[in-house]
Amino acid sequence: MRKTWVLDTETKGTGAHVVPLEKTLQPFGSEQDLALVELDRPARPAEASAPRAPLRFKVVDVMSARVLAEGIGTRATVELLEGMRSALDARIYVWSAKMGRWRLLTLNERKALWRLRGRTALDQGTGAESAG
């Protein structure tokens, strides 16, 4: 029996080879589809969210390099900034328990604290009015 052979060029970079004509005429649907495998992850344990400790700040005067306050809260830091001319007059650090050291605030963080100046007196004033 006589076979017809053809040049199969469907190889990937290895060059063409000669195959029987019947093999090239097989329908594409005869190939098996790839199986979809889904891997299940184990459930993550629920982490108990510990209450966040309040932020603690350290304020250092730029001109004298003197520590003006250390370990103070946000309100006390803002009150300390009220006596300064500019947000750049002090270096402000925040305590990072994760890193175990003081981290210098970015300029945007420092400006956010600076914008809070004057509000502490207003907050205390409105609190006294609403209580009375």
Closest CA to 57 of 84, 90, 82: 90
Residue 36: predicted pLDDT = 80
When the pLDDT of each residue in the chain is averaged and rounded to a whole number, the result is 81
Burial class (CB in 10 A: 0-12, 13-18, 19+), 30: exposed
Query: DSSP class of residue 44?
Result: P
Count the residues in the chain. 132
Q: Tens digit of pLDDT for each residue in 70-86?
A: 999 999 999 999 988 88
What pLDDT is stored for residue 58 in this prediction?
96
What percent of the chain clears pLDDT 90, i.e. is strictly above it?
33
Cα torsion angle, 83, 84, 90, 94, sign: positive
pLDDT in tens, 24-83: 776 655 556 777 888 888 888 877 777 888 999 999 999 999 999 999 999 999 999 998
φ, ψ of residue 59 to 5 degrees: the values are: -115, 125
The secondary structure of residue 13, as a DSSP letter, is S
pLDDT of 73 reads 94
Domain locations in the chain as residue ranges: 57-125
